């Protein structure tokens, strides 16, 4: 500290805290037509009707639409979307439902919906089986199984381009408690709208990224498309209620992505197809592309405050995939 002038670069530079590691400005969510905060809880449960055999027929309508979206402040990406949003609608059904997905291609390229689930070859959404030209319509028809946290995506070729242009979404099948007598309580808590489910704070999160200059490497990383969205608007969490995250990775070009929770640990259900955790008490999990799972944790014993979550590839974090939980007392 003898001669600070002689070595100005040995000490932190004045006015240059590392807190400057952020984007400049804010994204116009209204113009985009979707808001990342709203998207966390915006489940599409479709239209239901009772079939003669007593089962539920659940019908979803999905349209492929070309749309330019703002993925970071002032930065526009010519996306291909399902229903005008990226990620596409978070479809949610019940184990055993009969599903009908009416798919219309209003885009400029051939598209499909390929579901990660159990179905016939005819319903697979690959070339020759449900891949349709612009202006065409196709109805995918299959049973909702197995229960878990799944996804759908366009399977038109080249796959890489159709994936990273934005054609993917969550496809969650809630377990039918009557089919899981050994874990009725757990299964019931997963059923959207059930009394056991009411205390849970559920969130849909899709880890994605965008290659804005099409050089085969991503410029912006995010959770639910908008870089740093949950830094600018932290996610409110009531500390008295448990949190459940349906997490999916669709990042193209990078082999894996990851989720790290600060100052807390969680249980992880890989693919969500089991009612007992695959990993207990962890604070980082990683997912390859299309891998997904359910995270459950609680801030009940924490003091209120801002708790960070992000990818634990520092590069992804610093390029946008970072957010905050604003943990509050129930009264607040």
Partner 1 sequence: MTDRSDPTHPATFRILWVAFPLALMLGAFVWIASLDPLRGFDNGAPPVEALTVERSILDETGISLLVRAGGSEPMTVAQVMVDDAFWTFTQDPPGPVARGGAVWLRIPYPWVLGEAHLVNVLSSTGAAFEHEIAVAVPTPKASLGQMRGQALVGAIVGLLPVVLGLMFFPALRGLGQSGMNILLSLTVGLLAFLLVDMIVEALELSNEAAALFQGAAMVWLVALSSFLLLMAVGRSRGRPEGIALAYYIALGIGLHNFGEGLAIGAAFAAGSAGLGTFLVLGFALHNVTEGLGIAAPMLRSQPTLWTFVLLTLLAGGPAVLGMWSGSLAHAPQWSALALAIGAGAILQVIFEVGAYLMRQNSGRLKSVLAPSVLGGFLAGLAFMYVTAALIKV
Chain residues that interact with partner 1, rule: CB under 8 A? 8-9, 12-16, 18, 20-24, 72-78, 210, 212-213, 215, 219, 227-228, 315, 318-320
Any binding-site annotation on 167?
Answer: yes
In angstroms, what is the minimal distance from the CB of 321 to partner 1? 11
HSE value, Cβ hemisphere, 13 Å, CA-based, for 145: 10
Q: Judge whether 79 and 110 are in contact, CB under 8 Å.
A: no
Tokens of 47: 């239209």
Nearer to partner 1 (CB atom), residue 78 or residue 305 = 78
Q: For residue 89, give the nearest of 100, 97, 81 by alpha carbon.
A: 81
Nearer to partner 1 (CB atom), residue 20 or residue 120 = 20
Nearer to partner 1 (CB atom), residue 65 or residue 113 = 65
- Helix/strand number for the chain, H first, E second: 6, 21
In angstroms, what is the minimal distance from the CB of 17 to partner 1? 8
Any binding-site annotation on 155?
Answer: no
In angstroms, what is the minimal distance from the CB of 318 to partner 1? 3
Nearer to partner 1 (CB atom), residue 315 or residue 329 = 315
Nearer to partner 1 (CB atom), residue 201 or residue 224 = 224
Any binding-site annotation on 312?
Answer: yes
Write out the DSSP string of 279-326. Answer: EEEESEEEEETT-EEEEEE--TTSPSEEEEEE-SSHHHHHTT-EEEEE
Nearer to partner 1 (CB atom), residue 67 or residue 98 = 67
Any binding-site annotation on 18?
Answer: no
Beta strands in 10-136 (DSSP E): 43-44, 47-50, 56-72, 75-82, 90-94, 98-105, 114-115
In angstroms, what is the minimal distance from the CB of 96 to partner 1? 44
In angstroms, what is the minimal distance from the CB of 86 to partner 1? 14
Any binding-site annotation on 109?
Answer: no
Tokens of 284: 């980082």
In angstroms, what is the minimal distance from the CB of 23 to partner 1? 5
The conformational region for residue 15 under phi > 0 = left, psi -120 to 50 = alpha, else beta, is: left
Any binding-site annotation on 162?
Answer: yes
Question: Which segments of the chain does DSSP mark as H helices, in order?
Answer: 29-32, 36-39, 159-164, 184-189, 229-232, 314-318
Q: For the chain, first and last CA: distance in Å? A: 46
In angstroms, what is the minimal distance from the CB of 196 to partner 1? 41
Please enumerate in sequence order all residues whose Cβ is within 8 A of that of 258, keeping only pairs 6 or more positions apart, or say none: 284, 285, 286, 287, 311, 312, 313, 316
Nearer to partner 1 (CB atom), residue 143 or residue 219 = 219
Backbone φ and ψ for 261, nearest 5 degrees, come out as -105, 130
Annotated binding site for Cu cation: 111, 116, 153-154, 162, 167, 312
Annotated binding site: 111, 116, 153-154, 162, 167, 312
């Amino acid at each position: 500290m003898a001669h600070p002038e002689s070595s100005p670069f040995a000490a932190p530079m004045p006015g240059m805290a590392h807190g400057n590691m952020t984007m400049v400005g804010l994204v116009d969510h209204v113009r985009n037509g979707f808001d990342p905060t709203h998207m966390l809880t915006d489940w599409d449960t479709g239209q239901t009707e009772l079939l003669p055999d007593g089962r539920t027929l659940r019908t979803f309508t999905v349209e492929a639409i070309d749309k330019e979206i703002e993925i970071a402040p002032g930065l526009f990406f010519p996306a291909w979307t399902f229903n005008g949003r990226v990620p596409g609608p978070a479809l949610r059904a019940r184990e055993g439902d009969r599903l009908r997905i009416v798919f219309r291609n209003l885009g400029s390229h051939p598209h499909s919906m390929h579901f990660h689930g159990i179905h016939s070859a005819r319903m697979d959404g690959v070339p020759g089986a449900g891949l349709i030209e612009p202006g065409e319509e196709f109805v995918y028809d299959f049973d909702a199984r197995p229960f878990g946290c799944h996804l759908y995506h366009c399977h038109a070729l080249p796959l890489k381009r159709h994936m990273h242009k934005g054609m993917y979404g969550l496809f969650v099948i809630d377990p039918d408690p009557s089919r899981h007598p050994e874990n009725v309580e757990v299964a019931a808590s997963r059923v959207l709208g059930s009394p056991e489910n009411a205390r849970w704070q559920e969130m849909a999160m899709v880890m994605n990224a965008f290659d804005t200059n099409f050089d085969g490497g991503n410029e912006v990383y995010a959770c639910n498309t908008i870089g740093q969205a949950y830094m600018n608007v932290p996610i409110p969490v009531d500390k008295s209620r448990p949190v459940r995250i349906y997490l999916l990775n669709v990042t193209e070009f990078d082999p894996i992505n990851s989720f790290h929770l600060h100052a807390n640990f969680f249980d992880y259900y890989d693919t969500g197809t089991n009612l007992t955790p695959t990993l207990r008490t962890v604070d980082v999990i990683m997912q390859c592309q299309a891998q997904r799972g359910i995270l459950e944790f609680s801030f009940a014993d924490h003091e209120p405050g801002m708790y960070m979550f992000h990818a634990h590839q520092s590069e992804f974090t610093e390029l946008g995939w970072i957010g905050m939980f604003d943990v509050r007392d129930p009264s607040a």
